[in-house]
Amino acid sequence: MTLVEVVTVIVVVAILLVLVLGGLGKVRERAEGIKCTSNMRNLHVSLASYLSDRKNWPQCPIELGDEGYDAWWLTEMTPYGIGKETWQCPSMAAKGAANGTDSEFKMHYIPTPFDENAITPFRWSTQPWLVEIGDNHGKGNLVIFPDGSVRSLDELMPKQP
């Protein structure tokens, strides 16, 4: 093998590596988006089960942003199979937004506060049950509706030209 052939092989391999590694980032981002959507659907199922069992929406006694809010939701939904990882978007967790202890636990999905009437969460088909706290997937915050569908805010409210 000549030096020219060796250099050619190295250049071709380098180009292929760049193409493959560039595509892996997109695959990872897509997988995180799918996992985030799955988390929201799991939360939807657990909230629907809670409604069915208790005949009311969870009535969090703590205001959004106050200490204990996130931990209360974690504790309340744990009997329905919802752990810390379900409350957290993998994209945000990868950026260091996940926390280790229950006292420091931060949710990445915010439930809509409803009254105690079991019908209220189903009254409006476009009333979100949960909203993702950030645009973590480049399409706007994800929102889940009473029917279990997940859509992005950009899809719901397209930007005007």
In this predicted model, what pLDDT tens digit does every residue of 135-156 receive, in sequence order?
888 888 999 999 999 999 888 8
User: For 97, how many CA atoms within 13 A lie in the half-sphere containing its CB?
Assistant: 17
Q: Is 25 helix (H, G, I), strand (E, B) or coil?
A: helix
| pTM assigned to the model | 0.80
pLDDT tens digit sequence for 74-125: 999 999 999 999 999 998 877 765 554 444 788 999 999 999 998 999 999 8
- Report the C-alpha gap between 144 and 154 in whole angstroms: 14
